Structure 1
């Protein structure tokens, strides 16, 4: 989820914790638990600092080890021990609700198309269910409404219990919507091998990348209608020197470690080659913004590369800072 929603979830969990009489009747403990749920709901995203290094480091590490099974316990311990020494209150209660906050953060991140490596260290597989958009207006608004009710004197525990009961129903509805779309796609494409769903910010619109035996289909599902936007031939990546060299670049390597469905291109110019990999999950105004590009000279030396989100060829050329094509 987005940072704002994670913050609201931290408040909500802190309010839900007041169901426990020990917390409800001890202002110091209640304050420590609220700080624990707020910090715990944000802690896994500390890996965003890799963005300051470069996109390759960010793509390889964001939602990786910081969202793993060991991280759930590490974050809980670090936050709870710190709060215990600051507030000198019940370590058990603070640790319990901090653990819940960290776990909820990782759990909800699984439901969008980006996903997490939540199964590490047992598997580096990206777990991305593609049911909820990274920013979901309904989830954000219902949390915000719960906080407003809390601040206006309503019982925090019952308020947020109601919020999460509604959210469970909401997730079930979104799951059923996704499954209905997948069933339609399997009827359209009998040889389907993989369907990746990318929910949009709009309730009734989904983007999809469909892999069949011979093609990739980029599809939009809107109001129950399915439209094929693009069709690409499914071509194996050739085992040739230019590709082998390009794969040594950290930007392309990061892209390939993350993207589950993509197409590739090789362009030859007078004085250089360009290798481009394009993620088919994301499409915006007829453009595919998540790419990895490697440029090599005629001797196959890497001269420039880029991976990340880019929304025009002009901006991509500026990022590459190099040889104009």
Structure 2
């Protein structure tokens, strides 16, 4: 989920913690638990700072080790230990319990996004992505904000947020069933499909669709269970040429390939350089595919510049490649 949603979830969990009599009998413990649930609901995303280095490092590592089983165990210890240094009279057991729940819920809800997490590390590096809830879901966020406002105006937070989460659980079930229906529709439309990716959008009734069979890619969108195929591309295997082999050694392209399961490629041969482009087909927006990896090589196959990330215009891509070259 996005940062804002994780924060309001931390507040909501702190509200539910008021149902714990051990928490409410001490103002120090109650305040500490609220702080800890907010921090715990956010701390696994500390790897977002990797964006400051470059997109390749971020793509390879975001929601990786910081969302792993050891991290889920260690984050609460770090938070509780830090709070204890300043509030030694706090009830450590109950502070740890609520902090542990906050960290666990952060990783758990991220599994339902299309991006997913490596939540089973170190036992498996597989990305777990159920793809039924968008990274930012307006319904979930607004419901939390309403719950917080109601709390501010005097409602009992524990039962308020428990009721809210009952609604959210029902919403998750609805989304799961909806996606299963879409999957069945797509299979009927393209019976020889080998891979089908159905990803949510911010709009409840709209989903992104990317499909592969042995020979083609299909890109579509659905609205209220009506599926429309918008683009079709021939599926051309990436050849083992010298140019493409050299391009694959670039860190940006390598990161892209580790992240993207459905893509097509292009190569342009200019007088003084080559340009290799890989295009993720999952994120079609207004006829444009914004998530790309581009590698520019000279005639001797030395990498001049490269980029991976979200680009919404060719002009901006050119500027980024020029900046990297300079």
What range describes the TM-score normalised by the shorter chain of this pair? over 0.9
Please name the residue that 1:257 is paired with.
Answer: 258
State the alpha-carbon separation in 2 of the partners of residues 252 and 175 from structure 1.
33
> Structure 2 matches for 1:1-325, cutoff 5 A?
1-88=1-88, 89-321=90-322
Contact 1:126 1:258 survives alignment (8 Å): no
- Report the alpha carbon displacement of residue 282 of structure 1 after superposing the two structures with TM: 0.4
Give the secondary structure class of the aligned counterpart of 1:116.
coil
State the alpha-carbon separation in 1 of the partners of residues 45 and 324 from structure 2.
36
State the alpha-carbon separation in 2 of the partners of residues 15 and 212 from structure 1.
49
- Report the alpha carbon displacement of residue 129 of structure 1 after superposing the two structures with TM: 1.2
State the alpha-carbon separation in 2 of the partners of residues 174 and 193 from structure 1.
23
Give the secondary structure class of the aligned counterpart of 1:300.
coil
Q: Which runs of 5+ in 2 are unaligned?
A: none
- Report the alpha carbon displacement of residue 92 of structure 1 after superposing the two structures with TM: 1.1
State the alpha-carbon separation in 1 of the partners of residues 85 and 192 from structure 2.
60
Scaled by the length of structure 2, the TM-score of the pair is 0.97
- Report the alpha carbon displacement of residue 206 of structure 1 after superposing the two structures with TM: 0.6
Question: Runs of 4 or more off by more than 4 Å in structure 1?
Answer: none
State the alpha-carbon separation in 2 of the partners of residues 205 and 147 from structure 1.
28
Give the secondary structure class of the aligned counterpart of 1:274.
strand
State the alpha-carbon separation in 2 of the partners of residues 259 and 121 from structure 1.
22
Give the secondary structure class of the aligned counterpart of 2:282.
coil
- Report the alpha carbon displacement of residue 19 of structure 1 after superposing the two structures with TM: 1.2
Q: Which runs of 5+ in 1 are unaligned?
A: none
- Report the alpha carbon displacement of residue 322 of structure 1 after superposing the two structures with TM: 7.2
**1:180-225 CA distance string (max 9 Å, x none):** 0000000011111121122111111111111112211101001221
State the alpha-carbon separation in 2 of the partners of residues 211 and 102 from structure 1.
36
- Report the alpha carbon displacement of residue 317 of structure 1 after superposing the two structures with TM: 0.5
